[in-house]
Structure 1
Amino acid sequence: MVFTIPEGLHPDLNPLAWLVGTWRGKGRGEYPGIEPFEYNHEVVFNHDGRPFLNYYSRSWIIDAEGEVIRPAGSETGFWRVKPNNVLEVLISHNTGITEGWVGQFDGPKIQLVMDQGYSAPSAKIVTAGVRLYGLVAGELFFAYDMAAEGKELQAHIWSSLARSSD
């Protein structure tokens, strides 16, 4: 894959430059008490020259034909690179949850573990999480394992996203 470092990218972010852009695709999800589902997923990583990436993710529940049924989850946040290939990530969800994540990157493979979380009084309580991002066959693979509402850590959602040209 031919790749160019985005113009104006802070040098600290060079190891994550491959993420910058818009990614779109489909995913699947499941969790105890939730009917298995499919979704369209869009993830955007961009920057403004400072030493963090801006992150935005949104999704829509779809039917078996791929038609949108309704909006689903959305997240916004910031990704910061620290020494020794460490990442600090802050993510807020439209469902009333905000999380701090810490992890490692190794080339185009990123593993994050939830460090701390906050749930608004009306939001579900998420007690643990693991996220995986990686470049697989030119696409952004994403997986999120979650422990919530008294359930143990288990697979929740995963998607495969192609880089968009816009």
Structure 2
Amino acid sequence: MTSGDEAIRLAEERAAATRARNLPQFDDMPVPGDTANLREGANLNDALLSVLPLVGVWRGEGEIVYPTIDGPFRFGQQITFAHDGRPFLVYEARSWLLNEAGEVIRPAAREQGFWRPQEDDTIEFLLTHNTGIVELYYGKVRTQTSWEFETDAVIRSATAKDVKASQRLYGVVNGDLAYVEERAMMGQDMQPHASAHLKRVVG
């Protein structure tokens, strides 16, 4: 097990390359801009203390698998958790498919939404996909560095896949962000669909 002093030393090493980076900013905005760096921008709202470890930009690779696709497929991904001083996190994920050599094939899924911690320690997660799906998740804090969610409602456009429900688990492990996602869709029961391991690049 890593000691407290060792954990602090490792965190300082990781931050050496990321602490001076943030999201691109417009300096003529009449309201506070989003920040993914706790050292810059608006102060973090107290309502976000339970999700504080997530604030930043994370980048890495993952895998998609499901009985209705020919995978598994490798993908690259960047996830951003930012805030503007109000009691919600802005969430964005961008993905790209990779070949076996790790080269980019093409852009893939995009997601945008908001994490909204509540006074009863639940978290509302509103999520919109570029594929025509809108999901409302409810979740909770599992530990100081892990969060789990399941869908309460799924809305699909006429051209979207038949998604019934989804579950997600996020965790910050040894300074990296990891998650797993399960889905019930296309006539299949709830089962693993996507997972990824991302390293901090901002914050």
Measured against the shorter chain, the TM-score band is: over 0.9
Shift in Å, 1:85? 2.1
**Would you say the 8 A contact 2:168–2:179 is kept in 1?**
yes
> Partner residue of 1:70?
106
Aligned partner (choices 53, 56, 61) of residue 92 of structure 2: 56
For residues 63-142 of structure 1, what are the structure 2 equivalents within 5 Å? 63-105=99-141, 106-142=143-179
Which amino acid in 2 is paired with 1:26? E
The offset of 1:96, in angstroms, is 0.3
Distance in 2 (CA, whole Å) between partners of 1:160 and 1:137 is: 11
Q: Is the 8 A contact 2:68 2:186 kept in 1?
A: no
Instruction: Count the aligned residue pairs.
Output: 166
| Rg larger in structure | 2
Show the counterpart of 1:29: 64
2:51 corresponding residue in structure 1: 16
Aligned counterpart, 1:144: 181
**Secondary structure of the residue that 1:77 maps to in structure 2?**
strand
Which shows bigger deviation, 151-160 or 8-17? 8-17
Cα distance, 1:17 vs. partner? 1.1
Cα distance, 1:34 vs structure 2: 0.8
Output the CA distance in 2 between the equivalents of 1:53 and 1:30. 28
Q: CA deviation at 1:84?
A: 3.2
**Which of structure 1's runs of 4+ aligned residues deviate more than 4 A?**
1-5
1:31 match: secondary structure: coil
Larger relative strand fraction: 1
Q: Distance in 2 between matches of 1:24 and 1:85?
A: 28
Segments of structure 1 that go 5 or more residues without pairing to the other structure are none
Structure 2, gaps ≥5 residues long = 1-6, 12-18, 20-36
**How much is the aligned-residue C-alpha RMSD, in angstroms?**
1.6
Q: 3-state DSSP class of the match of 1:12?
A: helix
Q: Aligned equivalents of 1:56 and 1:165: distance in 2? A: 14
TM-score (norm 1): 0.95
* AA partner of residue 51 (structure 2): L
Secondary structure in 2 matching 1:50: coil
State how far apart, in whole Å, the 1-side matches of 2:95 and 2:178 are: 15
Q: Tell me which residue corresponds to 1:157.
A: 194
With the length of structure 2 as denominator, give the TM-score of the two structures: 0.78
